[in-house]
A and B are shown apart, each in its own frame.
Chain A
């Protein structure tokens, strides 16, 4: 038994630091095996629900696609030279060195979910940009829950080799809004010297789905990591708190998150960054709206050396009674000469803004919708127009629940 497995077994009942405790034995690891297919022949997924999570099964304007349904990878292929898209299992068979990238950034014994991802490993994706390569279009990866009560446990490895540029859209969805299940996803990102990863994750789960992603990112000298996280649909319980380690001089990380929590949803979402090299930069921007659900918005910046600069911003809007937004921004400056700041604001829609737009001829409903849409529009770099339209569409759907 390997050291990693031993550690995982020791942590199999260890509760997580944040988020409600999920009983893993209420879910099943059993699921049918699906056949591997070409993109155009895939018929086991709901295309509309995937499209709302940013995944276009036509593969149009994508540099590669990965699709996993429950525990089976049904498609994994790049469409561009210099970009690898395959399953983690296959990549581990192909590359001996890959073992050294597994469980390096995320601790396998962090909690019962990381332990479960090791003990019940069901694949995941491996995406890599070769040195100097650059994706023309984003690579898309989809993790899909189809079987009832399924527990999906995946481990993803993403590597941008020196001087490369990689754009990935990960869309997660369930087969129907009534599906019940658990998703545990480990993602370890390696941004090598002067490389760049833009990672956009869109969640389209269901009211009875629990979600526990565990992600970490290592950014070397001159590297850039841009993370966009969007969740505008109901989810029973979501808890994620990715960590970026800025270890190389001049490394940069930026996290944007946009959340909308309807009644019955519990979201405990945050981002943290450890700036441990000179001239590193980090910005964390979060927007949260509740229409009855609970949002806990965390943020942590750790400055370990002089000359780092980082900012944390969290804005929340409460649109309906019964909702709650709890913002917890934290700064940890450990030496002289760090420059870190945060701002947090939680409130309702300002009547003054509504009236201003009404004075321009918008009805009250139109004015509120326009303000909400504006509030949710953080500038998301590198987002393909088609995805922006989908986000607009999702916001529109969410707005309907407001009136």
Chain B
């Protein structure tokens, strides 16, 4: 579904990602580990084609099509959805109006909001005065309404309290069609710092981003345990 080939990305001349190659299959959930500032968010932003991020070399293929030069909205229309970690406030745009603008055919935003315990926020301005956990739910609600084929999630568990973590986990499971066991189509690339989300969402593979590039790929639990035991420095000594 997603094929990234030798991708290098910079902002205003500063290199953020070097020679990244990544392959995510249809139906696959991939965890992306990495320490703060390693470029995890930059990778998601580059896949989404957000303005400041410049692709210096390499290319991004989605469903076989080269999307490296497409605009952000064109990528979204082809089926890529992203959860922002710190989304901006859009004053005067109510959550319900946003959902009407972006919802895929046949989806009922009110039903989706109820699943996320978010009904009371439908009349609120998007992200205005939302707490950390409320921002996560608002982001996931929009993604559920969009119903993308590939979801990019940036630390979905950070800032979420214990009561809401299972609500968030369920929403992600639904986004990734975790109840479909054969011919699952939806794929996901999930950034996690703590690995906590793994308790709620099963992942097929994990990979680590260190020093601006993907260092290793493998079983997500094993990678997480390795990081817990040896830190990210341990990844550097590990065979790629």
Q: Which residues on A are within 8 Å of B, measured CB to CB?
A: 350-353, 355-364, 367, 370-371, 373-378
Contact = CB atoms under 8 A, between A and B. Distances in A.
A285 B43 CA distance: 41
A311 to B, nearest CB: 16
Given A355-B50, A360-B102, A360-B146, A373 B72 contact: no
A352 B88 CA distance: 7
A59 B81 CA distance: 48
B142 interface: yes
Contacts of A364: 71, 73
Given A351-B51, A356-B84, A360-B101, A375 B91 contact: yes
Given A350-B88, A373-B92, A375-B91, A360 B50 contact: no
Contacts of B77: 361
A220 B101 CA distance: 45
Contacts of A375: 91-92
Given A356-B84, A373-B92, A375-B92, A362 B101 contact: yes
Contacts of B72: 355, 358-359
B71 A357 contact: no
B92 A374 contact: yes
A374 B73 contact: no
Contacts of A359: 48, 50, 72-73, 76, 81-82, 84
B90 interface: yes
5 contacts: A355-B51, A359-B50, A361-B102, A373-B92, A374-B91
B92 A353 contact: no
B127 to A, nearest CB: 9
A371 B125 CA distance: 12
A103 B71 CA distance: 61
A360 B142 contact: yes
Contacts of B73: 358-359, 361-364, 367
Contact of B88 (A356, A358, A377): A356
Q: Is the interface of A mostly helix, strand, loop or mixed?
A: helix
B87 interface: yes
A337 to B, nearest CB: 28
A370 B125 CA distance: 13
Interface of B is mostly: mixed
8 A-B pairs with the lowest CB-CB distances in the bound complex, closest first: A374-B92, A374-B93, A377-B92, A361-B76, A358-B72, A358-B73, A360-B102, A353-B88
A359 B76 CA distance: 6
Contacts of B90: 353, 356-357, 370-371, 374
Contacts of B84: 356, 359
B136 to A, nearest CB: 15
A374 B81 CA distance: 23
Contacts of B51: 351, 355
A367 B84 CA distance: 17
B116 to A, nearest CB: 17
Interface in B19-77: 48, 50-51, 71-73, 76-77
Nearest to A374: B92
Nearest to A363: B73
Contacts of A352: 88
B102 A362 contact: yes
B218 to A, nearest CB: 30
Nearest to B86: A352
Interface in B73-113: 73, 76-77, 81-82, 84, 87-88, 90-93, 98, 101-102
A281 B73 CA distance: 45
A165 B146 CA distance: 44
Contacts of A361: 73, 76-77, 102, 146
A98 B57 CA distance: 80
A327 to B, nearest CB: 17
A30 B209 CA distance: 80
Nearest to B92: A374
A378 B94 CA distance: 12
Interface centre among B50, B73, B81, B98 (most CB of A within 10 A): B73
Nearest to B80: A359
A370 B88 contact: no
A361 B75 CA distance: 8
- Most chain B beta-carbon contacts within 10 A, residue among A353, A361, A367, A376: A361
Nearest to A377: B92
B68 to A, nearest CB: 17
